[in-house]
């Protein structure tokens, strides 16, 4: 080394070399072909597959098909020696022994009516407790956001009474991830926060200052525990349910007022006080005791993801991972009515298979990425992202070795939002399919500027219109697909999504209506981005660690 300053031409040369390395087209692009995507989708979304409902024979057939394809491509099993990652999901059955009794200072009692005044939540532990009640705001413990409704230990040995939802839910600048319903607001997590703070039970009630009295409480109870049961059961991740050891019940605003009356306050008076920065001041209802019993029977079902790998070629980077994913399940069938799920998410699944084939074809030519790449077909997404959550909670590699997650869900149509489209389109502006013919929504971009830059660079050949308008949106699209669990684990993750349309979650989401040329272009974009990320020297950063609510 001669110690002289680097000349301008030498700097330019190095810049060109680096740029060329980054802009190299990913190998195996010929595997991403519209006709092949179409052939796979006409199988996966056929009537014979009957909507691939989780825990059905057709869902098992879909997992077997994907496993067979991964194996035929020569990919490595990524869950030990298996392509399958099993996980338990639980649906609750309502028992007969559920009750709430109020006991005042004189010993007089009043008993609430099941379905009219209360009902147990599906994740509740079964059991009976009796204690004073402590109003504890929204019941959120988020030290990273300097908010803790349980910080003073007032609920220890008592029953917590908390509000649904979260502070500032209608404020775009809310620390709880703006307009998106944050993971901190999930009632199951609130039960765990309360349990950790020493509560022996937890009661939930509507935040009436934001949502008013709402619809009939009995209607809510009947929707939560319908008779007869649902066509599609509601499931929970088994690992989560096992963590909840306290009874958890939903109560009506009227019953909450009956409880709080002994404190001299009403729910409508206390509810707005929960919005205070840092967490609500506890209100102990000391002149009343509440006896509550929850009786929920847990029925265990085993589901499974399908995961396969291409091992990286660089000795220093091979233990780092890029994950490419989509979910295989949909909403099943009812007699002759079939929810085929061609776009949701047959489109993402066939793109995943094509990207895996591109990597396999390159590997046959001796071309492998520096980092390892995981191809993940998640299950039970429609049940609450449960397959992705199962993997995010117990990944096949150390979680800090996951560089990025690229998730594809509904990438085969054009976004179309009708005027007056109803709750399904809440937060979305009316727009035509024609106006979105070249567009794909990129969600999760606000969590990683590096990943956002990378997807723009990867789009150099596809020349799609990348729309990035839904990260802070009341539609909650950001948390409605399988990248969400990974964002909550502080892993940079993107959601590729061509948008909702009137056929979403209907029997008209069929393979005949897919835009296959567009599907091919989006698959090529994701393949290129995955290749770029698997080969670049630096990992993308994560810009919102405080919003990662599920990080241990």
Residue-wise pLDDT for 43-101, tens only, equals 999 999 999 999 999 999 999 999 999 999 999 999 999 999 999 999 999 999 999 99
| Sign of the alpha-carbon torsion through 515, 381, 493, 351 | negative
Q: Which H or E run includes 250?
A: strand 248-251
What residue has token string 């910080």? 151
pLDDT of residue 7: 34
Q: What is the DSSP string of 342-408?
A: IIIIIIHHHHHHHHHHHHHHHHHTT---SSEEEEEEE--STTTSHHHHHHHHS-SS-GGGEEEEEEE
Q: Which residue has the tokens 């013919």?
A: 437
* Domain assignments of the chain as residue spans, ordered by start: 31-90+299-547, 96-294
DSSP 468-532: ---TT-TT-GGGSSTTHHHHTTT--EEEEE----TTTTSTT--GGG--HHHHHHHHHHHHHHHHH
SS3 423: helix
Q: Say how far residue 305 (Cα) sits from the centre of its chain.
A: 15
Predicted pLDDT at 461: 86
**What is the Cα–Cα distance from 486 to 374, expressed in whole angstroms?**
14
Q: Which of the following CATH numbers is that of domain 96-294: 3.40.50.1950, 2.60.40.10, 3.40.50.300, 3.50.30.30?
A: 3.50.30.30
> What pTM did the predictor assign?
0.95
- Asked if omega into 502 is within 30° of 0 (cis), the reply is no
Of 284, 350, 295, the closest CA to residue 131 belongs to 284
For residues 447, 369, 323, 439, the Cα torsion angle rounded to the nearest 10 degrees is 60
pLDDT tens digits, one per residue of 434-453: 999 999 999 999 999 999 99
**What class, spelled out in words, does domain 31-90+299-547 have in CATH?**
alpha beta
CA distance 504 to 514: 12
- The token duo for 467 is 């729309």
Residues 6+ apart with CB under 8 A from 153: 197, 198
Stretches in the chain below the pLDDT threshold 50 = 1-21
């Amino acid at each position: 080394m001669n110690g002289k300053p680097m000349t301008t031409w030498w700097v330019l040369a190095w810049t060109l070399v680096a740029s060329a390395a980054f802009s190299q087209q990913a190998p195996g692009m010929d595997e991403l072909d519209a006709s092949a995507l179409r052939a796979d989708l006409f199988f996966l979304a056929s009537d014979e597959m009957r909507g691939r409902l989780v825990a059905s024979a057709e869902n098992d057939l879909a997992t077997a098909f994907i496993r067979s394809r991964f194996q035929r491509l020569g990919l490595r099993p990524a869950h030990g020696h298996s392509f399958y990652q099993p996980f338990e999901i639980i649906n609750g059955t309502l028992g007969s022994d559920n009750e709430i009794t109020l006991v005042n200072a004189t010993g007089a009692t009043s008993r609430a009516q099941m379905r009219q005044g209360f009902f147990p939540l599906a994740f509740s532990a079964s059991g009976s407790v009796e204690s004073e009640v402590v109003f504890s705001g929204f019941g959120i413990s988020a030290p990273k956001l300097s908010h803790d409704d349980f910080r003073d230990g007032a609920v220890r040995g008592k029953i917590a009474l908390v509000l649904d939802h979260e502070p500032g839910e209608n404020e775009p600048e809310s620390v709880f991830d703006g307009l998106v319903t944050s993971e901190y607001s999930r009632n199951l997590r609130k039960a765990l926060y309360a349990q950790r703070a020493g509560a022996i039970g937890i009661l939930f009630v509507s935040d009436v200052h934001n949502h008013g009295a709402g619809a009939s409480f009995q209607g809510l109870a009947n929707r939560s525990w319908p008779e007869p049961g649902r066509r599609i059961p509601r499931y929970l991740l088994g690992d989560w349910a096992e963590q909840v050891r306290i009874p958890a019940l939903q109560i009506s605003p009227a019953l909450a007022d009956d409880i709080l009356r002994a404190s001299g306050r009403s729910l409508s008076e206390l509810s707005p006080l929960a919005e205070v920065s840092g967490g609500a001041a506890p209100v102990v209802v000391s002149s009343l005791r509440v006896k509550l019993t929850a009786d929920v029977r847990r029925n265990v079902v085993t589901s499974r993801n399908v995961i396969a790998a291409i091992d990286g070629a660089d000795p220093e980077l091979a233990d780092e991972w890029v994950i490419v994913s989509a979910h295989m399940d949909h909403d099943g069938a009812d007699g002759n009515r079939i929810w085929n799920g061609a776009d949701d998410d047959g489109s993402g699944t066939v793109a995943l298979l094509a990207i895996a084939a591109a990597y396999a074809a390159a590997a046959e030519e001796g071309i492998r990425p520096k980092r390892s790449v995981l191809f993940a077909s998640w299950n039970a997404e429609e049940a609450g992202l449960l397959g992705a959550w199962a993997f995010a909670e117990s990944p096949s590699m150390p979680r800090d070795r996951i560089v990025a997650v690229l998730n594809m869900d509904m990438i085969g149509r054009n976004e179309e939002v009708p005027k007056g489209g109803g709750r399904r389109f809440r937060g979305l502006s009316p727009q035509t399919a024609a106006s979105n013919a070249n567009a794909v929504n990129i969600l999760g971009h606000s969590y990683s500027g590096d990943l956002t830059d990378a997807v723009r660079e990867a789009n150099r050949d596809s020349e799609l219109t990348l729309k990035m308008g839904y990260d802070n949106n009341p539609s909650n699209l950001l948390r409605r697909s399988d990248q969400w669990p990974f964002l909550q684990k502080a892993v940079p993750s993107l959601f590729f999504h061509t948008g909702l349309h009137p056929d979403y979650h209907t029997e008209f989401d069929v393979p005949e209506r897919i835009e296959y040329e567009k599907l091919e272009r989006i698959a090529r974009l994701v393949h290129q981005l995955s290749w770029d990320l698997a080969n670049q020297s630096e990992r993308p950063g994560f810009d919102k660690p405080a919003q990662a609510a599920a990080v241990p």
